[in-house]
Structure 1
Amino acid sequence: MKQFAFLASLVFLLGACSAPQKTEKEATFTNRNIKVDSEIMTPEILWSFGRVGSVSVSPDGQTVAFTISYTKIEENKTYSDIYTMPVTGGDFTQITTTKGGEFEVSWRPDGAKICYLSAASGDVQLWEMNPDGSQNQQVTKIEGGIEGYKYSPTMDKLAYLKNVKLDKTVLDLHPDLKFADARIEDDLMYRHWDHWVDPTYTHVHYIKYANGATVGKGTDIMKDERFHSPNKPWGGMEQINFSPDGKSIAYTSKKKVGMEAAFSTNSDIYVYNIKEGTTSNFTDGMMGYDIAPTYSPDGKYMAWESMERDGYEADQNRLFIMNLATFEKKDYTADFDQNVHGLTWTPDSKHIYFTSEDKGSKEIFRFDMADEKISQVTDGIHNYNSVAIAANGLIATQTSMKHPTEIISIDAETGEGTNISKVNEPLLGQLKMGDVEKRWIKTTDNKDMLVWVIYPPNFDKNKKYPALLYCGGGPQSMVSQFWSLRWNFQMMAANDYIIVAPNRRGLPGFGQEWNEQISGDYGGQNMKDYFSAIDAVAKEPFVDENRLGAAGASYGGYSVYWLAGNHNKRFKAFISHCGIFNFEQMYSTTEEMFFVDWDYKGNYWDKSNKTAMRSYANSPHNFVKNWDTPMLVIHGAKDFRIPYTQGMGAYNTAKMVGVPARFLYFPEENHWVLQCHNGILWQREFFRWLDTYLK
């Protein structure tokens, strides 16, 4: 259930064209010069911000290529284009203006071309263009299209992802029943997150490449294997890399099927020898997630991210490095009680940069190969979500509770960052944001807990404000300096609410012990942490303790359902988005079985398992006799992690026990709300509900 930074890209394929082509000036759209009537955030303003997507630094470290997506609200569509700018900052240049939009932007290894994926030719293919946007040329013509790509450092090969059909459908089995609409399943993992598993598998292929074109036919390096690479659903090309000499391809795959796959997180790093056509498992015997292999530029080492325990998706994400001469591998984070994400080698192979959760923010760290030590590079109230090497230091993407993603130039020695993109500066300059305060509050077991308190714009300490407790999801997803189109704290504060966002037990960034405490203890200490946070802030003279609400999604949605039966009349309104209502039903209907099996510590029919029985005893449906507070329930039909029947069950029950309730149901949304008009509707109903009962 953990939301991996997510980052899943929304690709809107809006048109087709041929190559080479002239750009279509009338097809682009931008909100950069938008003028707003109010300094206070509205849902429409929230959806008007530009969203920085792919960010890639040129091989010479001098230029950044990136995408910006803008939503045209009246069309319910998003337009994405490519831009460039110097790593030192300054005005950026828009170099594409096409209908279909471009994504997965990178530089060719020689720096002569900018590369991207586009569906301009009918399906998704790889394209190249000059750095000024001229001479767009289609590179691949793979039947059915591709999903990702990567050039070999030697530039004589191209790796790409393609779906390969290996299983039979109902029509294959019964060709005479052309109008039958059904599925036949014999094992688990027949659906995942928001889609039903189809008869195809995503495989890594490679093909010869020369002078801007592919040569010959591609080779499937996983031929006939009923497995995926990269890992579904969030893995991308960061899980696949060529060796520096271009002779091998390292890739990530969980080579398990059916029930075994549903209960396991054991993915491995495989290396395919192109000349020999053979594959080796480099992490055989390592039982958790092993992902994202990346070679040192000198070819001597391979680094990757590794979790130790099978079935535990929130285990510590460690830095492992293998000496490719001796095949010895070592965990270099044994004394680093944090996670590593997004490993990036320096060109001299002497350092690895990565991001890590750190006490309510995400910071950049550096590993030194010589002394085998990790040092912190940045520190502040922000999230650094990616890091790349530039000629003058580092290029990173940053968010905070006060601004969406921007591109930051960082001094690698001092950690000082400068916003060089300023994509949303024109719009932000017209708005007034609420202050964000970092508080440490004592918990019931005398621990220090970080709680973010977000104040309304134009906050008046002499007024009394309603307060909203934010219940975080994951459950192991740090309440950090994120920016969201739904759970946006500035949006909430703009509606004159004090927001209380605690980093309760069960979140990373505060040590593995704090992170792990929640497993097997749903309804336990982390719920007491919620009470500690809201009770402490409710004592403030500017908070009306008689107008408190609680809202959350996923595990946060479960938290709201649990609080509804155990809050002792603290709250006057609840909102639960995609929350777990009935643990037994959840255990039997979710798709990644390892998640519930690990966190509940077992199934519901083994009555001898005391820890599991304690988990099931804390299922919210066991406390509905105590429900007495109005509740808004939100759920998407395509949420297969927490099926929509959980929300339906909570709403129906609320109505049956006489609690005022409303059900907001999205037939085409999943665990999130991704479409513009649906997102604006979500915001409007969110505040209509809160305002009814808290104002």
Structure 2
Amino acid sequence: ECPMLPFGGSEQFNWSPDSRYIVYTSRKKTGRDYAISTDSDIYRYDTATGQTENLCKPADYKEPEIDPSRSMEHQTINHLDRDCNVGYDTNPAYSPDGKYVAWLSMARNGYESDRTRLCVLDLKTGAKTYVTEAFQSGVDGFCWAADSRSFYFTGVWQARSMVHSTNLKGEVRPLTTGDFDYGAGLALCGKNLIVTRHSISAPDDIYSLSFKKKKNAEVRQLTRENQYFQERLKMGEVKERWVATTDGKKELCWVVYPPHFDPSKKYPVLLFCEGGPQSPVSQFWSYRWNLQIMAANDYIVIAPNRRGLPGFGMEWLEEISGDYSGQCMQDYLSAIDDICKEPYADKDRLGCVGASFGGYSVYYLAGHHDKRFKCFISHDGIFNTQQQYYETEEMWFPNWDLGAGPWRKGISADPDNAEKVNDGQKVNPFTTSPHLYVDRWDTPILCIHGEKDYRILSSQGQSAFSAAVMRGIPAELLLYPDENHWVLKPQNGILWQRTFFRWLDRWLKK
């Protein structure tokens, strides 16, 4: 399988400069092994001999036995005495001189949100070097520099995706700054780097970066595809806000204000809950979850980089695994409580919205918000974590994040008897599933789901809707028979926006 489903493209294979070899990404597993593993490798095919070589694994590698019904975190596969590239390895690229192959590499099997490193293989010696270890976040995209001794790469740090450089010695240097995101796609054109860039307030355009020694990049905008519209639209101000958390740390939040914001007035406020669960709340631009559209409808939006998001170190990133209902939920509440200290925030008109893990967050907070919110919207969210384990097509995901199959010894479905999850120290997500707290629900809720969603089946949204109706809580259900985990068709997107704001306005603008 190359490119790998569901997101792979031409970046997953690459020709050698002399056109003899092809390096490619593949996860050569089938059946249950395919469903529980993230172990993809980089292969080199020799067009002259017809031979294929695995560049990731030693020739004598034999995979250890894996228990398919629990997390691989503490299993032998992730504690070998040598580097066998047992996690995701993708997007190989030959150096211009053909002496090296570089690729994106995750260290651990079964963990799709592990930190992505840049691995470099010396084809002559067989030595592998990880050249982004000094960057304590993931590498999103990279390209070789012309000298075959250095790279450009993008990665998120403190809620911004910037361009960096590194060399074969692993000396990392940031090259850009600003309140925007550079995209994962990078292309070298002569002495310039061609990139895309967007922000919360602007969709993608193409930029050229040129470099001088020991200085930041010189940036030149090449396209202005949306200039006509941007000149005729007033965007809301976007501010960075650091919020104290309940465990004495700080979380970075983006606050987006209405375009004609008047601090003497009071505005309803939306808490935006991110999905992933380990996707960044950076300077992202979305055609559905667009924070500027929310602000343009006269809502203040606060979007926290809660526990579990990249760009704040590995401890912050990994605190969410096996602890869906823990500190990350407190981080959400800290964010909304903090913005409500402002005189212009109407604490009696608060909404909570999110998709995927953000949808799970909505369902969970519906039973734990202490009457803060006046309405909820969940899109493609997990309502029942036990049900989710049996339904999803990516079995590595619930194994790592939920710890094990619900039938495993020591796992209780009783929220008043929350067992510890396998070998860890965190509360078992099965015992704190949102569906166990429906008796506490008291707030109107809109559930949205795609019936072609195999990551989180539409039965989750339908179950949450039924639960609300049976409890006598105002609820609506929007089902898309032709959408998956995302709403991709333009007409469906329009319906989504109309339904979204009709629901918010009904409960927050009375």
Fold similarity call, TM over 0.5: yes
- Which residue of the partner structure matches residue 511 of structure 1? 313
Do the aligned partners of 2:39 and 2:87 also contact (CA within 8 Å) in 1?
A: yes
Do the aligned partners of 1:379 and 1:415 also contact (CA within 8 Å) in 2?
A: no
1:529 to 331, 334, 337: 331
Relative to structure 1, is the Cα distance of residues 416 and 445 closer, same or farther in structure 2, using a 3 angstrom cutoff? farther
2:152 and 2:287 map into 1 onto residues whose CA distance is 29
Is 1:665 matched with 2:499?
A: no
- Which residue of the partner structure matches residue 421 of structure 2? 611
- Which residue of the partner structure matches residue 419 of structure 1? 221
Do the aligned partners of 1:294 and 1:343 also contact (CA within 8 Å) in 2?
A: no
1:382 to 171, 180, 188: 180
1:306 and 1:668 map into 2 onto residues whose CA distance is 34
Corresponding residue pairs, total: 467
- Which residue of the partner structure matches residue 299 of structure 1? 98
TM-superposed deviation, 1:392: 4.7
- Richer in strand (by share): 1
2:46 to 273, 286, 292: 273
> Cα RMSD between the aligned structures?
1.1
1:565 to 357, 360, 367: 367
Do the aligned partners of 2:242 and 2:253 also contact (CA within 8 Å) in 1?
A: yes
Do the aligned partners of 2:205 and 2:225 also contact (CA within 8 Å) in 1?
A: yes
Runs of 4+ in 1 over 3 A off after TM superposition: none
Do the aligned partners of 2:104 and 2:119 also contact (CA within 8 Å) in 1?
A: yes
Deviates more, 1:326-335 or 1:401-410: 326-335
Deviates more, 1:373-382 or 1:556-565: 373-382
Deviates more, 1:334-343 or 1:260-269: 334-343
Secondary structure of the residue aligned to 2:287 is coil
Code of the aligned partner of 2:16: S
Alignment of 1:270-669 (within 5 A): 270-284=43-57, 285-369=84-168, 371-385=169-183, 386-413=185-212, 414-608=216-410, 610-611=420-421, 614-669=428-483
TM-superposed deviation, 1:572: 0.2
Secondary structure of the residue aligned to 2:239 is strand
TM-superposed deviation, 1:335: 3.0
1:291 and 1:391 map into 2 onto residues whose CA distance is 26
Do the aligned partners of 2:2 and 2:26 also contact (CA within 8 Å) in 1?
A: yes
1:643 and 1:624 map into 2 onto residues whose CA distance is 19
Q: Write the deviation string for residues 277-300 of structure 1: whole angstroms up to 9, x where unpaired.
A: 010111013210011111100011
Do the aligned partners of 2:151 and 2:167 also contact (CA within 8 Å) in 1?
A: yes
2:468 and 2:160 map into 1 onto residues whose CA distance is 37
Do the aligned partners of 1:243 and 1:249 also contact (CA within 8 Å) in 2?
A: yes
- Which residue of the partner structure matches residue 501 of structure 2? 687
- Which residue of the partner structure matches residue 678 of structure 1? 492
1:372 and 1:586 map into 2 onto residues whose CA distance is 41
- Which residue of the partner structure matches residue 251 of structure 1? 24
Code of the aligned partner of 1:599: D
Q: Percent identity?
A: 52
Do the aligned partners of 1:471 and 1:559 also contact (CA within 8 Å) in 2?
A: yes
TM-score, length-normalised on structure 2? 0.90
Alignment of 1:46-57 (within 5 A): none
2:122 and 2:15 map into 1 onto residues whose CA distance is 16
Secondary structure of the residue aligned to 2:502 is helix
Secondary structure of the residue aligned to 2:172 is strand
1:412 and 1:602 map into 2 onto residues whose CA distance is 49
1:418 and 1:663 map into 2 onto residues whose CA distance is 46
Secondary structure of the residue aligned to 1:241 is strand
Secondary structure of the residue aligned to 1:611 is coil
Code of the aligned partner of 1:649: S
Do the aligned partners of 1:384 and 1:399 also contact (CA within 8 Å) in 2?
A: yes
Q: Write the deviation string for residues 345-374 of structure 1: whole angstroms up to 9, x where unpaired.
A: 1122132111101110111011123x4301
TM-superposed deviation, 1:499: 0.1
1:334 and 1:484 map into 2 onto residues whose CA distance is 30
Gap regions ≥5 residues in structure 2: 58-83, 412-419
Q: Write the deviation string for residues 145-178 of structure 1: whole angstroms up to 9, x where unpaired.
A: xxxxxxxxxxxxxxxxxxxxxxxxxxxxxxxxxx
Do the aligned partners of 2:134 and 2:171 also contact (CA within 8 Å) in 1?
A: no
Secondary structure of the residue aligned to 1:677 is helix
1:625 and 1:419 map into 2 onto residues whose CA distance is 54
Code of the aligned partner of 1:648: Q
